[in-house]
Amino acid sequence: MSNMLEVADLGHTYGDYEAIGGLTFTVRAGELVCVVGPSGCGKSTLLRTISGLIAPSRGDVSLKGSHLAVVFQDYQRSLFPWLTVQGNVEFPLRSLPRAERRARAAEALEWVGLSAAAKKRPWQLSGGMQQRVAIARALAFRPALLLMDEPFASVDAQTRFELEDLLLRVRREHDTTVLVVTHDIDESVYLGDRILVLSKSPAKLVADLEVPLPAERDQVTTRTDEAFVALRSRVARLLNVGGKPAVDVEKWAAAERESLSETVSS
């Protein structure tokens, strides 16, 4: 499989503060890779350098394909309030003829199940629906790479599960290459084909882990799967390198597994 994104010795420094300390990794076509790291580890800087919003101090980012799309955590601030949902999804497609723009936006809205809301304004929708609009906008752009910055961190737990499954479905249906930046260990294991674990700032690559789970995932059964629990614990331990773990991750995992199976059986 060819590489969609190649990052080589990427480093970034703000004044004296080194945010990223030399990262090398690749994302293959059609793959969903999660970047997970402690908060303040330079994940946002990584995302901004990959997306071209800031030029990195050193290293290379090369993208196969002409453009990428970003879905930000803060959907409320990332959607244009003066445009309709349809208008928001059409925003990146300005260079296309009107009819094609329309068609692509309608198609993308259908993928995320929002065809009925096309004429509404973003602020008339719930948080989860707004983030679906942002996802539709990114997909309509047909990016070589879909970058997501903590995409589900601002919605409630129920909506979060729905959006995670929606992401897994659309990226499977449309063979999208995705890079998700998150601080949530469970989310990284649930979504990812591969997980890149970063150290605290200056961010370095601690581990590059394959996720040994089937492509079809389910919020209840996957999260209780032995492989899921084991990988989650491993990532949690990796994130605490050099420091004492804040919680006994194994014990916590076991307790949660138990409570989850209780919920299911009742």
Partner 1 sequence: MRAFTRGLIGIAGFLALWELLGRSPLLPADSLPPPSVVFGELVRQLISPDFISHVVATVLAVLIAIGIAIAIAVPSGLVLGSVPAVRHATRAVIEFLRPIPSVALIPLALVMLGFGPETKITLAVYAALWPILFNTIYALDELDPLLVETSRVFGTGRVGVLFRVALPSALPFVLTGIRLAATTALIVLVSVELMAGADIGLGYFIMEARSGPGRMDQVLVGTVVAGVIGVLLNNGLERVRRRWVAW
Question: How many CB atoms within 10 Å of residue 265?
Answer: 6
| 244 binds partner 1 per the rule CB under 8 A | no
CA 105, CA 89: separation in Å to the nearest integer? Answer: 6
| 80 binds partner 1 per the rule CB under 8 A | yes
Q: How many residues bind partner 1 (CB under 8 A)?
A: 20
Starting at the edge strand found earlier in the chain, the sheet holding 3-14 runs: 17-28, 3-14, 58-63
| 69 binds partner 1 per the rule CB under 8 A | yes
CA 229, CA 9: separation in Å to the nearest integer? Answer: 32
Q: In angstroms, what is the minimal distance from the CB of 70 to partner 1?
A: 5
Strand partners, 70: 147
Of 94 and 244, the one with the shorter C-beta distance to partner 1 is 94
Of 154 and 222, the one with the shorter C-beta distance to partner 1 is 154
Strand partners, 58: 11
Of 73 and 199, the one with the shorter C-beta distance to partner 1 is 73
Of 84 and 199, the one with the shorter C-beta distance to partner 1 is 84
Q: Are β-strands 3-14 and 58-63 bridged in parallel, bridged antiparallel, or unpaired?
A: antiparallel
CB 1 within 8 A of CB 29: yes
Q: In angstroms, what is the minimal distance from the CB of 147 to partner 1?
A: 8
| 52 binds partner 1 per the rule CB under 8 A | yes
- Indicate which single residue of 38, 56, 92, 202 sits in contact with partner 1 (rule: CB under 8 A): 92
- Indicate which single residue of 33, 35, 70, 181 sits in contact with partner 1 (rule: CB under 8 A): 70
- Indicate which single residue of 1, 39, 55, 123 sits in contact with partner 1 (rule: CB under 8 A): 123
Residues in the chain: 266
CB 24 within 8 A of CB 10: yes
φ and ψ of 89, to 5 deg: -70, -30
Helix, strand and coil content of the chain, in percent to the nearest 5, comes to 45, 25, 35
| 98 binds partner 1 per the rule CB under 8 A | no
Q: In angstroms, what is the minimal distance from the CB of 15 to partner 1?
A: 19
Residue 145 carries which side chain, given as an amino acid letter? L
CA 110, CA 73: separation in Å to the nearest integer? Answer: 22
- Indicate which single residue of 28, 121, 142, 183 sits in contact with partner 1 (rule: CB under 8 A): 121
Of 91 and 252, the one with the shorter C-beta distance to partner 1 is 91
Of 78 and 201, the one with the shorter C-beta distance to partner 1 is 78
List contacts with partner 1 (CB under 8 A).
51-53, 67-70, 72, 74, 77-78, 80-82, 91-92, 94, 121, 123, 141
